[in-house]
């Protein structure tokens, strides 16, 4: 790896840590209806397991309701079963053509539990970013040891990697702050 590849790799991997955290948060119930809540739902359709969003149209008609309009009405029982077995604590209501999910308000105790979980997820993301920093630092030191870069260049690269780390940690802090605010607001 050369100097530029190390920096690009570190930036890319750190960015993936932040995006993974955002995707994780999209699936955490905050008391508001969001189709992202159903991203992990897999439905058995025609003998094959497929994501819910590939066999239906997902809508949020209001802040407390998710509407699922399957492309084939015969899939409704399978969609209901997939939602009930998803551990999301959601109860689908079937009217024959559309499956509706009413999102209940979160209790204060449940909000506190969710905040603990999002902080734990954020800390795991920070640790992943720091691991990427360690990998980048190790690769940079190997370049210097192999005399491919000077000691001054090594120190400059280490500083650039630290700047990337600081930037991505700030992104994580912003994401966790936004999600916490969303959960705490009633």
* CATH assignment at residue 180: 1.10.132.20
> What's the pLDDT band for 186 if we cut at 50, 70, 90?
low
Q: Looking at the DSSP assignment, which residues form a beta bridge with residue 94?
A: 99
94 and 111 in a single domain? The answer is no
117 and 165 in a single domain? The answer is yes
Q: What does DSSP assign to residue 104?
A: P
- pLDDT tens digit sequence for 98-115: 999 998 888 888 889 889
131 and 152 in a single domain? The answer is yes
At 89 the pLDDT is: 79
85 and 47 in a single domain? The answer is yes
14 and 51 in a single domain? The answer is no
128 and 180 in a single domain? The answer is yes
- Average pLDDT (134-159) is 93
- Average pLDDT (30-55) is 87
Half-sphere exposure of 32 (CA within 13 A, CB side): 12
147 and 57 in a single domain? The answer is no
- pLDDT tens digit sequence for 68-79: 999 999 999 999
pTM above 0.85, yes or no: no
Q: Percentages helix, strand, coil for the chain, rounded to the nearest 5?
A: 60, 15, 25
- pLDDT tens digit sequence for 46-59: 889 999 999 999 99
Provide the mean pLDDT of the chain: 91
Distance CA 145, CA 135 (A): 15
175 and 123 in a single domain? The answer is yes
pLDDT at 135 over 70: yes
The domain tally of the chain equals 2
83 and 175 in a single domain? The answer is no
Distance CA 134, CA 47 (A): 46
92 and 147 in a single domain? The answer is no
18 and 47 in a single domain? The answer is no
Residue 89 corresponds to which tokens in the numbers above?
């604590």
**What domain range includes position 10?**
3-26+107-184
At 168 the pLDDT is: 98
pLDDT at 178 over 70: yes
> What's the pLDDT band for 5 if we cut at 50, 70, 90?
very high
Look at residues 102, 128, 145 and tell me which one is the last residue of a structural domain.
102
| Choice among 23-32, 77-86, 141-150 with the minimum mean pLDDT | 23-32
């Amino acid at each position: 790896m050369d100097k530029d590849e190390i920096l690009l790799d570190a930036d890319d991997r750190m960015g993936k840590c932040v995006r993974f955290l955002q995707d994780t948060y999209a699936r955490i119930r905050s008391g508001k209806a969001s189709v992202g809540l159903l991203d992990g739902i897999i439905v058995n359709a025609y003998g094959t397991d497929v994501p819910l969003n590939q066999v239906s149209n997902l809508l949020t008609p209001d802040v407390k309701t998710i509407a699922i309009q399957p492309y084939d009405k015969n899939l409704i029982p399978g969609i209901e079963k997939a939602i009930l077995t998803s551990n999301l604590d959601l109860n689908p209501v079937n009217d024959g053509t559309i499956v509706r999910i009413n999102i209940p308000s979160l209790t204060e105790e449940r909000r506190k539990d969710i905040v603990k979980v999002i902080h734990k997820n954020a800390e795991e993301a920070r640790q992943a970013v720091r691991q990427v920093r360690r990998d980048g630092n190790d690769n940079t030191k190997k370049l210097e040891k192999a005399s491919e870069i000077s000691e001054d260049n090594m120190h400059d690269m280490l500083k650039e990697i630290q700047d990337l780390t600081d930037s991505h940690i700030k992104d994580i802090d912003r994401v966790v702050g936004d999600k916490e605010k969303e959960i705490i607001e009633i």
